[in-house]
Every structure is written in structure tokens, then in C-alpha cells.
Structure 1
Amino acid sequence: MTGPRDIHAYLAEFEDIPGTRVFTAARARQGYHMNQFAMSLMKAENRERFKADEAAYMAEWPLTDEQKQALLDRDYNRCLDLGGNVYFLSKLFSTDGLPFAKAVATMTDMDFDQYTQMMMQGGRSPEGVRSIKEGR
């Protein structure tokens, strides 16, 4: 039997997965207000207010400047880096009239047709770089 594992060391290992942001408790805390902002877009009146003046609507939320800019830029990968959760961010996709699959495709190095083809063939190959720090 082994001793207790350091939870912080264990969670840090998730940061070593290339192209993946695991939604940990730390990310949840970091992105709480961004995700709550996104969830507010479930209400039609909030979507309309947001579409009328995105910056003014976001100013009502305690978002960091980086979070605001990532949201304005629709830089979804940056949003994930800053604590966003793709399922919450999907409310923003929907507000923009962007289907989930097309929004997610923008988070890859593929266009939508390439992304769709890859997914139809079973998804991303498990071959390739599996560790950032080890380069393997």
C-alpha cells in the first residue's frame, strides 16, 4: 500500500496534456464569474442587452481584463485557459448563432470540414505528443 498522494502534484499533471484544459476546481474558481456571465445569456433579455453593447454588459460582471478581451475576441481557447468551461461558453456560441461543433472547430488547427471529417472518423488520434514537458 502506498502513502497519500499530494493532490496538488496530481492536479498539476493535468497541465501537461497538450491541447487539453482539464476543468479542475482551480479553473472553476478562476472562471466562476466568466461562466456565470455566459449562463446569464440563457435569458433572452440578457442576450439582447449583450448584443446591443457587449462591453457594457460585461462591465456588469467582475471579469478580469483578460477574460473580457478573450470573450470579446471569441478566443475560446484563451477563455478555457482563464477558467471558462466549454459547456457554459456554449451559451455565447448560441448567442452568436454558432453551432457547438463549429465553435469547437475554431479551437483546433482545422477548418470546420476537416474537424467534421476527423470526428466522423472517430476523433483525434491518440498518437502524437502526450506530454508537454517530456515532448513525447
Structure 2
Amino acid sequence: MALEKPYKDIPGTTIFDSEQSRKGYHLNQFCMSLMKAENRERFKANERAYLDEWPMTEEQKQAVMSRDLNRCMELGGNIYFLAKIGATDGLSFQQMAGSMTGMTEEEYREMMLKGGRSPEGNRYLHEKSK
């Protein structure tokens, strides 16, 4: 029996639940492998060859290679594991978050210092149809 997931009605939100965990298991394991310097070097030397060592979907591999972290999350990636990709690229978590919102690092920092995004218009998808 499928669980009810009322959070699916929140726009722009991917909740890392058990379904996402199963979907992204190998993607997240790949990310964790980047904690070792020798694996980071192998990945940076030939991303495709390193990714092909993991039983990830082609969509997941393409999302990693294009650094589309939002797509990685949709495909089961956990942001805390995905941060290993950013760290491998020399990016801070703040830089990564900015890129995921379409903002520069400075714009993202300023938005967060002002309290984050406004919830207006971003509460539930079902509210938009009214």
C-alpha cells in the first residue's frame, strides 16, 4: 500500500523519503565515494569513465556531468551527498545552493540574510488552481 504524501503538493520541493532513497541509492553512493582523494582524482580525470563504474541510470549520469543538482535531487540524490560533487569542483555549499536557485552566490546569500524566499504563492500547488 502506497503512503499518502501530502508534501508532493508543495511546488519546487523534493522530499528525500524512502522512495527517493531507493531511486538514488547508487547516485548517493557515487557521491560518497568522492570523500576519498583518489576517487576525486579519478572522477576529475575522466568523469564518464568513473560514472560508468556505478550502476546509475543514464539520466543520473547526465545530471551529474551537467552539474544539474536539481535534476539529481529529482532522480534520488540527497543534497548532503550531492554536496560532495560541489566540493570536488571546489564550490562551497552556498555557491551550490545559489546555482540551484538560478542566483549568484551573492544574491543567494543576500536573500537568506533577509529571511529566505517569500512563502507567498509557494505554498501548495492546489492553491494555484483556485
Question: How high is the TM-score relative to the length of structure 1?
Answer: 0.89
Amino acid at match of 1:67: Q
Match of 2:109 among 116, 119, 133: 116
What is the distance in 2 between the residues matched to 1:99 and 1:129? 27
* Stretches of structure 1 lacking an aligned partner (at least 5 in a row): 1-5
What is the distance in 1 between the residues matched to 2:2 and 2:26? 25
The Cα offsets for residues 87-135 of structure 1, whole Å up to 9 and x where unpaired, read as 0001100000011100111111322221111101121122223112331
Match of 2:10 among 3, 17, 20: 17
- Determine if the alignment matches structure 1 residue 105 to structure 2 residue 98: yes
- Determine if the alignment matches structure 1 residue 33 to structure 2 residue 21: no
Structure possessing the higher radius of gyration over alpha carbons:
1
What is the distance in 1 between the residues matched to 2:53 and 2:102? 33
1:49 is matched with 42
Question: How high is the TM-score relative to the length of structure 2?
Answer: 0.93
- Determine if the alignment matches structure 1 residue 8 to structure 2 residue 3: yes
* Coordinate RMSD, CA, aligned: 1.4
What is the distance in 1 between the residues matched to 2:107 and 2:62? 28
The Cα offsets for residues 38-71 of structure 1, whole Å up to 9 and x where unpaired, read as 0000000000000000000000000000000000
My pick for the range that moved more, 118-127 or 79-88, is 118-127
Post-superposition shift, 1:7? 6.0
What is the distance in 1 between the residues matched to 2:120 and 2:127? 15
Which consecutive aligned stretches of 4+ in structure 1 deviate over 6 angstroms post-superposition?
none
What is the distance in 2 between the residues matched to 1:126 and 1:8? 26
- Determine if the alignment matches structure 1 residue 132 to structure 2 residue 129: no
What is the distance in 2 between the residues matched to 1:114 and 1:33? 33
* Stretches of structure 2 lacking an aligned partner (at least 5 in a row): none
Identity of aligned residues (%): 56
My pick for the range that moved more, 95-104 or 126-135, is 126-135
What is the distance in 2 between the residues matched to 1:129 and 1:43? 39
What is the distance in 2 between the residues matched to 1:79 and 1:16? 20
What is the distance in 1 between the residues matched to 2:51 and 2:44? 11
Q: 1:128 to 1:134 in 2, by over 3 A?
A: closer
